[in-house]
Amino acid sequence: MARTTLFRKAVAAIILLLVPTLILYGYSNKVSVNVVKDEIQSSSLSQLSFFLRQFDSNVEQLSLFPVILGFDPYVRAFIEHRGGFVFDTLKEQSRISEKISLQSVSSPWTNELSVFLPQEKKVVSSNIFKVYDAEYVKSHLPLQQWSYEKIFVGSAEIYHFVRQYADPANSKTPEQVNAMLQVAFPIDNIVTMLDQVKAGGKGDPFLYQAGMEPIMNGTSDSVKIHQLIGVLGPEPLLPIGHRVVVLGGRQYSVNFVQSGQLGWYLVDYLPVDAILKPITMSSLLFYVSFGLLLLLGLAMAYLLYRHVQYPIRKLLQGVQQMRKGDLSTRIHAYADNEFDFLFDRFNGMAEQIQELVEDVYEEKIRRREATLKQLQAQINPHFLYNSLFFIINTAKLGDQESVVAMAQNLAEYYRYTTRVEEQNVPLQEELQLVESYLAIHNLRLQRLYYDIEVPEAMQELTLPRLLLQPLVENAIVHGIEHIPGDGVIRIRGSMDGGRCRLTVEDNGTGLAQGALQELRDKLLQPMDSGMGCGVWNVHQRLQYAFGETAGLTLESSGLGGLRVTLEWNPEEGKERKALIEAEEGGDDSDGGAADRR
């Protein structure tokens, strides 16, 4: 009782000292951090918006250049000019080239103005390296918005933003167009603007559009920018916004504003720890002071922990292990107090529980073993009577060949079913038994056809004896014997993904859906005197040998009768097989099984 009271007093003292201080400081720190973040975010967005307005103003000015050229009287005369003297044409072209150059240099941004004449297959441009390309004109005619593409400048290929207008405006093919006026500017202008933005702050701005390579400033961290794009990419961005992302274990504050002209985003990011560095330093000083107080509290609480909390934890661990089913768990600890007595009593209790549970488990195994041997020992006497009567009647008729065949197959059948030394046999032996069994019925019925096809690799697998024969017997007795014509039994084997399947199907009378579902339900019930045992026998033995995932599947066959599928995983059955062999030893039993549907 004294230890418990002391522990509570120590905890209460530590709480009274630390919790109010932590709450006050946490609240103050949270408010400070939020204020700083909001101010930095607002300032950054304002700066980005200011630069983006300048950017959009320049882009808008450039987008008007083709329109201004289109209304210029000299340009209109040049566009509408058809035929005439070569000298006059060259003179007009020179004048237009001069106007285009003057118009181009009127913008603070480097740009390129061009006039394409599809009818004459000519182009007049401020770029002296520009040549007329019919395919290029055709592909750009419907476009009246800014596009992002590569343009040759000399021998180099440089990314440009391009916009064009057709004359007339509704033209969509080169044949309809008098002229296409185009303006383009290289991304060098944007890089220069980004350098100016970066010079005025601590961020790393870049221009971003989903699916496009970002346009970065001259000193940007390309690796980090691509990582950031990977985080921003999956979700659509608002026209203006803010996000906090984590890159390489470090938080970054990301601000973005969308350009009204190009549709691209001006993005700037900054490490959060750089923003909060002054607050972080003040927090560090507080935590150092706070840590000294904490050490005093921990030193006091340690004694209580060592002599109270630790023994309780060991006891709880032991209880949890027993709850998980580990009955062999024991507590090996020395507390030098009353807990030693509890540990000793716990170990004694665990030992007694383990002995009782093991006794019950062993009894359950013996009971299941006895049930299995009883099921395996079931033999249908009517099959033997009918076979012997067939031999007698055939002998009276003098058909010696049929008598010999019946006697030989009957001997092979009963030699296998009465052999008790092995409970698990290769599938190949089961198939040989089924062939003998089918041969016997074929001699009796004279209208039975069967087909067996099982992979050789599968025939080498071992499984409990007499699993397949009861299913074949069901197919004959409850299916084929009730139809007037020829009977067909088909046996197929397959292996897929570590699971094995054996299918037995017939062209007999089959079962209605209601009766089929009733038979499926009976497979899951305990056996009683009012139900058949053949199919239930096979299902239970298969699950007993290979686990709960093994068993039978019943369904209608495409032949008209019933299809029964045995399914199991050989790997899952190895451990269970070893346990059964260890329990059974040499006391294996046998038996045939006949089902009563």
What CATH number does the domain containing 516 carry?
Answer: 3.30.565.10
Has residue 235 been placed in a domain? yes
- Domain identity same for 412 and 457: yes
Report the residue count for the chain.
597
CA 372 to chain centre: 42
Q: Is residue 10 part of a domain?
A: yes
Domain end, chosen from 167, 186, 205, is at 186
User: What pLDDT score was predicted for residue 592?
Assistant: 37
pLDDT of residue 465: 81
Q: Could you tell me if 384 and 490 lie in one domain?
A: yes
- The first and second tokens of residue 488, run together, are 């067909």
Question: Do 33 and 153 belong together in one domain?
Answer: no
Mapping DSSP onto H, E and C, the string for 299-342 reads HHHHHHHHHHHHHHHHHHHHHHHHHCCCCCCCCCCCCCCCHHHH
Please choose, from the candidates 338, 329, 331, the residue with its C-alpha nearest in 3D space to the C-alpha of residue 308: 338
* Residue ending a domain, choose from 135, 152, 186: 186
Cis peptide before 168 (omega within 30 of 0): yes
Asked if 133 and 271 sit in the same domain, the reply is no
129: in domain: yes
Q: Which residue ranges in the chain fall short of pLDDT 70?
A: 1-8, 81-89, 142-143, 154, 200, 361, 364-365, 368-382, 418-421, 526-533, 576-597
What is the Cα–Cα distance from 279 to 31, expressed in whole angstroms? Answer: 11
The last residue of a domain, from among 209, 240, 275: 275
555: amino acid identity, one letter? E
Residue 122: the pLDDT is 83
**259 plus 246 within the same structural domain:** yes
Angstrom distance (rounded) from CA 10 to CA 474: 78
Question: Do residues 128 and 227 share a domain?
Answer: no
Same domain, 200 and 168: no
How far apart (Å, rounded) are the C-alpha atoms in residues 67 and 62?
10
Q: 107 with 252, same domain? A: no
* Range(s) of the domain holding residue 109: 72-186
Please check whether residues 92 and 202 belong to one and the same domain: no
Can you give the pTM of this predicted structure?
Answer: 0.43
Q: Which two tokens stand for residue 513?
A: 């859906």
> Is residue 341 domain-resident?
no
CB-CB contact of 596 with 534 (8 Å): yes
Distance CA 20, CA 18 (A): 6
Instruction: Record the tokens describing residue 521, joined without a space.
Output: 């339900």
Q: Domain total for the chain?
A: 3
The CATH number that applies at residue 18 is 3.30.450
For residue 218, give the DSSP letter: T
For tokens 């002209």, what's the residue?
261
pLDDT at 454: 92
Q: Which of 61, 164, 147 is nearest to 108 (CA)?
A: 61
Tell me, yes or no, whether 51 and 105 share the same domain: no
**Cis ω for the linkage preceding 108 (within 30 of 0):** no
Residue 362 lies in a domain: no
Q: Are residues 446 and 543 in the same domain?
A: yes
Q: Where are the alpha helices (DSSP H) in 151-276?
A: 188-199, 222-232, 272-275
Instruction: Give the separation between CA 590 and CA 597, rounded to whole angstroms.
Output: 22
Place of tokens 């391009």: 162
What DSSP designation does 558 have?
T
Report if residue 280 sits inside a domain.
Answer: no
- Start-to-end CA distance of the chain, whole Å, equals 70
Rounded Cα gap, residues 68 and 84, in angstroms: 26
Dist CA 579 CA 574 (whole Å)? 9
Q: Phi and psi for 144 in degrees, rounded to 5?
A: -125, 15
pLDDT value of position 101? 82
Residue 284 lies in a domain: no
pLDDT at 540: 80
Whether 336 is in a domain gets the answer no
528 and 381 inside one domain: yes
Q: Tokens in use for 545? A: 């040998």
